[in-house]
């Protein structure tokens, strides 16, 4: 099973993910970038999270598979 994460090299801090799924994403107060709330790494099947993934303008929200490669979650 994959693990949801935010690619920090792509995130620009738009916070759309946080607005759509605040129980899954949080904003780093120092840097202003999104990250996945601890314990919510498996939440990518939830509709609100999938909507957040689709609405990320930088396509920074990813799912890393067991093999270490990113899975297609679009």
Could you tell me the pTM of the whole model?
0.91
Averaged in consecutive runs of 10 residues, what is the pLDDT profile of the chain (74 residues)? 93 97 96 96 95 96 93 78
CB 33 within 8 A of CB 13: yes
Count the domains in the chain: 1
Residues 6+ apart with CB under 8 A from 41: 3, 4, 5
Q: Domain of 60: which CATH number?
A: 3.30.70.20
Residues of the domain holding 46: 3-71
């Amino acid at each position: 099973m994959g693990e949801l994460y935010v690619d920090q090299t792509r995130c620009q801090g738009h916070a759309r993910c946080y607005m759509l799924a605040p129980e899954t994403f949080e904003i780093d107060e120092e840097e202003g970038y999104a990250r996945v709330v601890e314990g919510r790494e498996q939440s990518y099947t939830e509709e609100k999270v999938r909507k957040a993934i689709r609405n990320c303008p930088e396509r920074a929200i990813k799912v890393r598979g067991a093999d270490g490669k990113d899975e297609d979650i679009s």
